[in-house]
């Protein structure tokens, strides 16, 4: 197996911003956006240069203050990627959920990511051919009938979710139960996750990230035990990110996927420039290569968030 050097994205902390549409009488309504357009030469699909719409999301968040540290909240997240590409499906509802929050504990239900989606250190703008972010993404990391509990106790963060099977109903899907736990020890972040998917696959993973100031190092390893095929699938990532300047970040990443039938080694490298006056406006470029069909990928683009 050849260990390839790689590159990833974001050393800069993502600024959590939103446009406040209304704030009064115990009601807060915020609108968030994440727009990204790329100029891409994707060797796995075509030899021709193409404009791709990776993220065109609008997130609507409503929060009601119910007094006594209790809040009610809801979110609708729409993606317009497919509509921009003139695909028949048009816009897509990414998230739709409601919940209650008391102090640092929140419960929500609806259409959303599962707790296993919190796992991983992979930082590519586009996954190299034949790879996945981790085994939780390979199995399932979102659902239409999710119940989820999140608790942030400063020292430790815990997330537990369950996707209802709901077969024969309007939104059909297999069941899954996920647990994610992370903790910070000074500059070191440790995390672990576990998932039972449709009673025929168990997935677990561990990860570590270390912020040395001038460089951030990350690694994760995840395994899926597929009972129905008597084999394992594994994914691991190695990532290093550092600041080339105050406004420019460079990332190197390596990913390996092994399903006991085929092994895929891939690497990616990207650079991100954030405008000093507005950190939520950025330009980026990425190159990646995978031995899955010996495919390479080159892209450059722009991202605006609010």
Local structure of 118: helix, strand or coil: helix
CB 242 within 8 A of CB 7: no
Determine, yes or no, domain membership for 114: yes
User: What's the rounded Cα separation, in Å, for the pair 191 and 210?
Assistant: 12
Residue range 106-116, pLDDT digits in tens: 999 999 999 99
CB 123 within 8 A of CB 131: no
Task: Work out the average pLDDT over 18-45.
Answer: 89
pLDDT of residue 66: 97
Residue range 261-305, pLDDT digits in tens: 889 999 999 999 999 999 999 999 999 999 886 678 899 999 999
**Residue range of the domain that includes 253:** 104-305
Name every residue whose Cβ is closer than 8 Å to that of residue 261 and which is 6 or more positions away in sequence: 231
Residue range 169-183, pLDDT digits in tens: 555 668 999 999 999
Determine, yes or no, domain membership for 192: yes
Determine, yes or no, domain membership for 32: no
Determine, yes or no, domain membership for 287: yes
Round the average pLDDT of the chain to a whole number and report it: 88
CATH number for the domain spanning 285: value is 2.40.160.10
Residue range 262-274, pLDDT digits in tens: 899 999 999 999 9
pLDDT of residue 49: 83
Say how many domains are in the chain: 1
Task: Work out the average pLDDT over 152-157.
Answer: 94
Q: Which pairs count as long-range contacts for 164-167, CB under 8 Å and 24+ apart, including other chains?
A: 165/198
Angle at 115 between CA 110 and CA 118, to 5 degrees: 125
User: What's the rounded Cα separation, in Å, for the pair 105 and 82?
Assistant: 35
Determine, yes or no, domain membership for 265: yes
From residue 236, alpha-carbon distances to 130, 181, 186, 222, 255 in Å are 13, 18, 24, 6, 6
Determine, yes or no, domain membership for 275: yes
Determine, yes or no, domain membership for 299: yes
The tokens 């954030």 sit on which residue?
A: 274
Determine, yes or no, domain membership for 28: no
CB 195 within 8 A of CB 116: yes
What predicted TM-score, i.e. pTM, was given to this entire model? 0.88
Is the model more confident about 99 or about 214? 99
């Amino acid at each position: 197996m050849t260990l390839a050097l790689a590159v990833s994205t974001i050393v800069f902390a993502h600024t959590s911003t939103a446009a406040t549409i209304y704030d009064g009488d115990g009601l807060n309504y915020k609108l968030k956006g994440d727009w990204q357009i790329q100029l891409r030469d994707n060797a796995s699909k075509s030899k021709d240069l193409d404009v791709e719409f990776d993220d065109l999301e609008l997130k609507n968040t409503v929060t009601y203050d119910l007094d006594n540290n209790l809040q009610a909240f809801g979110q609708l997240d729409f993606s317009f990627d497919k509509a921009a590409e003139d695909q028949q499906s048009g816009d897509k509802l990414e998230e739709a959920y409601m919940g209650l929050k008391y102090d640092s504990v929140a419960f929500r239900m609806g259409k959303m990511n599962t707790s296993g989606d919190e796992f991983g250190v992979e930082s590519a703008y586009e996954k190299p051919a034949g790879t996945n972010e981790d085994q939780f993404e390979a199995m399932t990391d979102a659902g239409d009938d999710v119940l989820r509990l999140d608790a942030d106790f400063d020292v430790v963060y815990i997330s537990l979710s369950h996707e209802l099977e709901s077969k024969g109903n309007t939104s059909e899907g297999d069941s899954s139960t996920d647990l994610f736990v992370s903790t910070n020890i000074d500059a070191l972040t440790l995390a672990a996750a576990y998932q039972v998917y449709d009673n025929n696959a168990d997935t677990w993973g561990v990860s570590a990230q270390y912020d040395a100031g001038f460089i951030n190092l990350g690694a994760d390893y995840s395994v899926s035990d597929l009972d129905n095929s008597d084999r394992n699938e594994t994914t691991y990532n190695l990532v290093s990110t550092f600041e080339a300047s105050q406004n420019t970040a460079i990332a190197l990443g390596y990913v390996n996927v092994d399903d006991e039938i085929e092994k895929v080694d891939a690497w990616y490298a990207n650079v991100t420039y954030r405008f000093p006056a507005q950190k939520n406006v950025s330009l980026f470029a990425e190159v990646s290569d995978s031995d899955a069909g010996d495919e390479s990928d080159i892209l450059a683009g722009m991202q605006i968030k609010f």
